[in-house]
Structures are given as C-alpha cells and as structure tokens.
Amino acid sequence: MDGENVDDDHAPWPSPLYRDLVEELSRLHRRKGQYHVDSILEGSAFAILLVLSDGRPRTLRNLAEDLDLEQSTVNRQVNAAIKLGYLERFDVEGSLSRMVRPTDAGQTAFHHDGMLRVRRLERVFADLAPGEPDVLLRELQAFNEAYDRALRAETRADGDHRRHG
C-alpha cells in the first residue's frame, strides 16, 4: 500500500473532516430529486421558473448558461413546460432568438411550490435551533463562489495542459 496507513478509518481522505464534508454534500445532492407530495411542478420546470423569477425573459442559450446545462436539455425541458402551460415562447422585434417567459399558470405553480419549500425550510430551521438561515445563506454563497473559482481554475489548467501537453 505504498506507505498508506490502511488502519485509517477515513482513508483515502486526508482527514475525517474531508470525508464527512464529501458525505454531507452527497446527501444534499441526493435530495435534489425529492419533491414535496403536494408539488405541482417537476424539478426542471421549477428550476427554469426559479431562473425566470427575476422577471427577465431568457433565450434558450441564456437559460442553458444560467442552469449550467446543455442547450438541448434545456430545450427539451422548456418544451415540456410549454406543453403543460407553465412557459411560453415569444418573438422580440429585431432578434432572431425567441424568448421564454412564465405564463400566469407557471407563476402560480412556481409560487405554490416555492411556498412548499419555504415551509419545509422553516420546519428545518425550527428543528435546527439555534440555526440561523441568514448565516447558512452567507456561508453557502461564499462556499459556492469559492467552488466556482476552483472549477474555473481547474478548467483553465486543463485547457493549458491540453494546449501544451
């Protein structure tokens, strides 16, 4: 085992802290597909409506960038949401690309499902007491920004490696 201590209960992680962080992040990821029994929207429709909740219509390309998904995937998801009446496409004068925006039904369903999520979070924070939502939000924002910087650095390094390798 080349000097590795096989007795470590946290191997291959450098410490139990990193093992536990990876485990907790994995738990969060696994919950991604768990919806409230009373949800109206499926996950992709909610995610699209969340992006559009700032009131700004988007092109498919913009949505793909905002959701960090392939444009073909977003196109399929948008088409499904259009068929269900949650989104609509519309033309913009002077633009070749059509825009996507929520319908009234989409906004109503988004509000409904958003409130289900809010009530669940309220129960979680009540159970977590003295946990504070604003503290978690600041830490998650800082974590996500640092994580994005690390990913960009890895992408740049990988691109440099491929050009020079």
pLDDT tens track for 18-59 = 899 999 989 988 887 678 899 999 999 999 999 999 999 999
Tokens at residue 105, please?
A: 């039904």
Place of tokens 């691109």: 159
Q: What is the DSSP letter of 34?
A: -
The helix, strand and coil proportions of the chain, stated in percent and rounded to the nearest 5, come to 65, 5, 30
SS3 92: coil
> What mean pLDDT comes out for the span 108-129?
93
Q: Measured between alpha carbons, how far is 81 from 83 in angstroms, rounded to an integer?
A: 5
Taking each continuous run of H as one helix and of E as one strand, the counts in the chain are: 6, 2
The answer to whether the predicted template modeling score (pTM) of the entire model surpasses 0.75 is: yes
> What mean pLDDT comes out for the span 112-135?
90
- DSSP bridge partners of 98: none
> Per-residue pLDDT for 2 more than 60?
no
